[in-house]
Structure 1
C-alpha cells in the first residue's frame, strides 16, 4: 500500500488481528455485514488476521448552540470536588530527597511517615508529617528553604470521575454499537485500571481474568468496591453485561481508602504506587477514571511512567470547569477522554480545555454495582474505557507506544464535533472505531 495516499491504514498486531482505521474517503469493503454493523463505524479487528475492513466515516458535523443549551439539564450532577483544597492534612510528599535530609528537617518539627520505593519507575518518594499546627502550604514553604531544589508537594486527593445515576441506559457494548463482538474479544490483551475496589464475585466479573491489588496507608481500610466494579465490568466484564474486551486480562489497582473520618479518599501516594505496580505487569493500556489537581511529585512519577512504556488514558473530570484542568488527564503524556450522550451531545458537566483529546459515550451507561445488579450511570469515568480498549489494541499491535502516537492514529477515525478541528469541548471528536471480533 502506498502510504502517501493515506486512504486506509491496516495494522497487523500480535493479537492475531488487524486494526483498520479510515484515513480518507475510500473504503475497501465491509468486514461485517450491513445488518450487523452500525453505519459509519470504523473497525478495530482483533481476531481475523487475514481480513481487511473499512467504511467511510461521516463528514464533520458541528454541534449547534441550541443543541448545547438543550443538553444543559441532562441527567448527572456536577462534581463538587475542589482540587485546590483536596489533600491529606498534616503531611507532604518529597521526590528523591538527598541523603541526610531527615537530619535537616527534624529540628524544624518534621518527621518521616513512610519511604516509598517506586522501583519500576526508578523514583523514591517520602511521605513526611508536618509540624503540629502548621498548614500544608506553610510546611511546603518551610521545606523548600530547608531542602532547596527538591521536588515536593501536598499529598493530593483524587476522586473517581462518575457523577451520578441516569434515568435510563444501555450496556456499554450496545451504547457504542459493539453489540455483536465475540465473548473472547480482547484475548491476548493486558489492561490496567487505577480506581477503587472491585467486587470480583459480581456476575459480570466472576470467572473473568482479573488480578487485584489495594494500595492503602497503614491502618486504613481499602476503598469500597463501588466505582471500580463498574469500570472493571465495562473493560472486561462478561458479554451479558456488555464488557468491551471480555477476553482480556485486567490488573485492577485500588488507590482509594477510608480515612479517619470514614470518607473515601484517593491519595497521590496511592496513585503512584498503583502506577508503579502496573508498570511491572506489561499492560497494554491503563484506564484512569479519576480526577484531581496537579501535583509536582505525581507529575514526575507520570513522566517516568511514560519512560516505562505505560500508555495512560484518563477521564477529563466532571467539575463542569474550563478554568481548572483535571489531572492526570491534563498531563501531556496522558490521553484525555470526555463524555457524550450518544455520538453528538456533550455531557454538560464534563470539564473542558485544551487537554481534551477524544469523546466517547458516557451518559446513561448501564454499569455493574458492587454486591450484584447494576444501574445506568453517567460521567467521564464511563467514557474512558472505550478509548482504553482502542489504545490497548493499538499498543499491542506495536503502533502506538506513546500518547502522541495514539492521538495521531485515533484522530483519523473521529467524527469532528463542535468547532472545526481539535477543540476544547470534544478534542479531536467522537471516536468512530470498534473491535470487530468474530
Structure 2
C-alpha cells in the first residue's frame, strides 16, 4: 500500500529533522494486514514497539514490547495535557482580548501535544462529533483551516458526525490535538480503515459441525443486516433474499460483489445453495470496495441497519480500535441488536481485531472440518466462539467457490443465531450470548481460551436449552 509506505517514510524523515529542533510528537499509520456513555473498557493488550528520542515519540508499530500504553486504550480517551501558548507575534491581539471572543468565535485554546495514532487511516481526514449547529461546524472548520467533506446526524450516536479534510498536510495527530481544545467537539477520531476478512482460497460441512439440521433450518421473519461489499442480486442463491439495500459509498463505482454475495448466501441462501437460515430477510449495506472501508462509511451503514429494525448485524471485517465505532456498537446493543463480527485473519501475534473485540460483540474465529483452528486466525481473550470457516462452499458472483476466513465463520454464526431467533423471537441479545457460551462444544484448553473462545457453535444444544 503506497500510502502507508509514504506515511512511514515521512514520519521517519520528520523525526530526524525535529531531533534538533525541539519537542514534538510524530505519527505514522502502520498497515493493517488484510485479514450508558460510561467509561469505555480497556481490553487491548500492550505490545507496541516505540522508538524514544529526546522529547520525540515516533509511533511505528501497532504493538509494543515494553508494556507501554497503546493509543486507543481507555487512558487515551482523555484530552492531551496542554503546553504553554507561544508568544504572540507583532500586531497580535493581547491574550484574552474580549473583542476577539464570542460564542461563535471562542478564544483560541492552548496548543496541545499531537496525539499518536495507530492503525491504518485516511491521512488527510478526521472524524469529529459536534455539540452545536451547522454554524458551529463551519466555525470550527474556519478556525482550524479544515474542509467540511461530509456531515450528518448519527442515529446511534445522537450527535452530528463531521468528516473534516486537512488541506495543508498537517499530520492527523496534530489536528486531533488542536480539535481537543475546542469545547464544541465531543469526540475526535482518525478516519480508520477496515479490511474484509477473507483468506486465500467439498461439500459445505458447516451444518454438520454446528449441529444444525439443514432440512429444518429457517430464518423466516428475522431481519438481518450485512455490512459488506455489494452483492450479486441476480445470483440464484439470493433470489428473494435481499429485503433492502443501502449504498454507504455512492460516489465509488461498484466492482466487488463476491465477498458480500458469499456472506449473504451463507446466512440466508436459497435454491441449490442452501444457507444456514433460509427465509431470513437480508438488509444489505454496501460499505466496502477493493476490500477496504473507512470509519465514516461503516458508521453510516451501522446507523442505517439500526433504522431498519434488524435483530442481527453481521460485520465480517477488522480494523483498529476506534472510539466512534465502539460507541456505535454500544448503542446498537442497547437497542437489542445482536452484533456478530469476524475475529480476524492476521495471525496468532496480531493485535486485537475490531469491532470483534468490543464488549457486546460476538467475536467468531474459524475452524476446519476437523475442528482445528485456522492457522492465521487472530488469538486473544476476546474470541467468543468458533465456527466452520476453512474451505467452506459459498456463492460468489456467477457461481460458487470454496472460501476461507473468519468472515465466513461469522456469517455461519449469524445464520445459526437467526435460527434461534426464528424459533424463540423473544430472546434478547444477552440470552443469546449466554446460551452460546454455555452450550458450545469445548475445543482446545478446558473452558474459554484465546484460540477457540468457548468452543464450537452447537445450534442443537442452544435450541434444546430454550425449552
Structure 2 portions without partners, runs of 5+:
1-31, 36-60, 63-117
The normalised TM-score by structure 1 is 0.73
Written as runs of structure 1 = structure 2, the 5 A alignment for 1:213-228 is 213-216=246-249, 219-222=251-254, 224-228=256-260
**Separation of aligned partners in 2, 1:129 and 1:191:** 34
Alignment of 1:232 with 2:264, yes or no, is: yes
3-state SS, counterpart of residue 238 of structure 2? coil
1:120 Cα deviation from its structure 2 partner:
5.3
Matched residue, 1:249: 281
Structure 1 portions without partners, runs of 5+:
1-77, 258-262
Contact 1:343 1:360 in 2 (8 A): no
The structure with more strand, counted as a fraction of residues: 1
1:150 Cα deviation from its structure 2 partner:
2.2
Written as runs of structure 1 = structure 2, the 5 A alignment for 1:32-431 is 79-80=33-34, 84-99=118-133, 100-119=136-155, 121-147=157-183, 150-165=186-201, 169-170=203-204, 172-173=206-207, 176=210, 178=212, 180-182=214-216, 185-216=218-249, 219-222=251-254, 224-257=256-289, 263-342=290-369, 344-370=371-397, 372-395=398-421, 397-398=424-425, 400-402=427-429, 404-431=430-457
**Separation of aligned partners in 2, 1:196 and 1:154:** 22
Contact 1:283 1:310 in 2 (8 A): yes
**Separation of aligned partners in 2, 1:303 and 1:193:** 18
**Separation of aligned partners in 2, 1:155 and 1:349:** 26
**Separation of aligned partners in 2, 1:171 and 1:241:** 13
1:285 Cα deviation from its structure 2 partner:
1.1
3-state SS, counterpart of residue 327 of structure 2? helix
3-state SS, counterpart of residue 272 of structure 2? helix
3-state SS, counterpart of residue 244 of structure 1? coil
Cα 1:135/1:315, change in 2 over 3 Å: same
1:333 Cα deviation from its structure 2 partner:
1.2
The alignment of Structure 1 onto Structure 2 pairs a total of residues equal to 348
1:141 Cα deviation from its structure 2 partner:
1.9
Cα 1:344/1:395, change in 2 over 3 Å: same
The normalised TM-score by structure 2 is 0.69
Contact 1:321 1:350 in 2 (8 A): yes
1:413 Cα deviation from its structure 2 partner:
1.5
Cα 1:188/1:271, change in 2 over 3 Å: same
Contact 2:242 2:284 in 1 (8 A): no
Cα 1:418/1:382, change in 2 over 3 Å: same
1:308 Cα deviation from its structure 2 partner:
2.2
Contact 1:122 1:304 in 2 (8 A): no
1:141-172 CA-to-partner distances (Å, cap 9, x unmatched) read 2222344762111111111111121xx55365
Q: Which has the larger radius of gyration?
A: 2
